[in-house]
Amino acid sequence: MTQVGALLGLTLLLACQQPAVVVPPPVVVAPPQARPQGPPPKPKIALVLGGGAARGFAHIGVIRTLEQEKIPVDLVVGTSVGSLIGAIYAADRNSFELEWTAFQLQKEDLFDFGVISTVAGMGFAKGDKLETWVKGHIKPANIEQLKIPFAAVATDLNWGQKVVLDRGSVARAVRASSAIPGVFQPVQHQGKILVDGGVVDNIPISVARARGADLVIAVDISANVGNTDITNLLGVSLQAANIMFALNVEHSKRDADVLISPAIGDVGTLDFTQKKRCMEAGIVAAQQSMPAIRRAIDKWVAARLAAQQP
């Protein structure tokens, strides 16, 4: 073999010993995982109705508007007249039935005016007539039977504590929640002596939060407690209660997601001639609050969807 041939053979041999080029497999990109389909999450919405006697007819207008605007109410909490209107609505979830039933309520259904002329016991009136009226106009006897979860708020007269009534007799709970001190006699119920819930919490937003409400729509009917027409002991008692209730509202109402305040500050505590006007004021105030209500719902839904992202 010539020298040139040997060199050529060596070159070919070295070329055959070069490492093979490894071609990497193609990269397979997984398709993006589809988000689960389904309806968006819904917040648990509580409607909290404050006390204010005859002004409570404004609550009816608010409820009618919420129903017309398809805002679901998942929980109702009420104090005093708010417990009465709230219980009527929770029993049937129908604003027209609520209006029909509530508008039958007269001042004479609350007070026994034959008793008011003399101070008997611990109040001008017992409250029996109110309890009887509730029994005759709300079909479910017990709170547990209402169509919407419901709680009435009263005050333990002995210890000054808030008492949440969410079981047992509807009529008794409403009577206890509405027992304005000095006007109605205290109510013995569930082992306690109870008076109007407005003494400690006239807009019980904290009760709704404790029961799992994501959003709270509260209705305040306590504005403007001014009254220059106080001529007897009953008037003194009512005015003192109104002042007390309005003061504790100033603190509690800040915790509402949306606060609705119907313009009925000049309606007297026992002026049952203003029913229609109060209801119309409730409608107007609720309609004005609808953008805020929808923003609150949208904000809650957006936050919940964001929290579900991986």
**Residue 109 is a catalytic residue:** no
Residue with structure tokens 């909290």?
48
**3-state SS string for the chain:** CCHHHHHHHHHHHHHHCCCCCCCCCCCCCCCCCCCCCCCCCCCCEEEEECCCHHHHHHHHHHHHHHHHCCCCCCEEEEECHHHHHHHHHHHHCCHHHHHHHHCCCCHHHCCCHHHHCCCECCECECCHHHHHHHHHHCCCCEHHHCCCCEEEEEEECCCCEEEEECCCEHHHHHHHHCCCECCECCEEECCEEEEEHHHCCCCCHHHHHHCCCCEEEEECCCCCCCCCCCCCHHHHHHHHHHHHHHHHHHHHHHHCCEEECCCCCCCCCCCHHHHHHHHHHHHHHHHHHHHHHHHHHHHHHHHHHHHCCC
Pairing assessment for the beta strands 258-260 and 215-219 based on DSSP bridges: parallel
**Residue 196 is a catalytic residue:** yes
Residue with structure tokens 């547990």?
144
Residues 218 and 259 sit within 8 Å (Cβ to Cβ): yes
Dig out the tokens for 264 from the structure: 């009925």
Indicate which residue of 95, 178, 196, 222 is catalytic. Answer: 196
Pairing assessment for the beta strands 215-219 and 192-196 based on DSSP bridges: unpaired
Q: Which residues are catalytic?
A: 80, 196
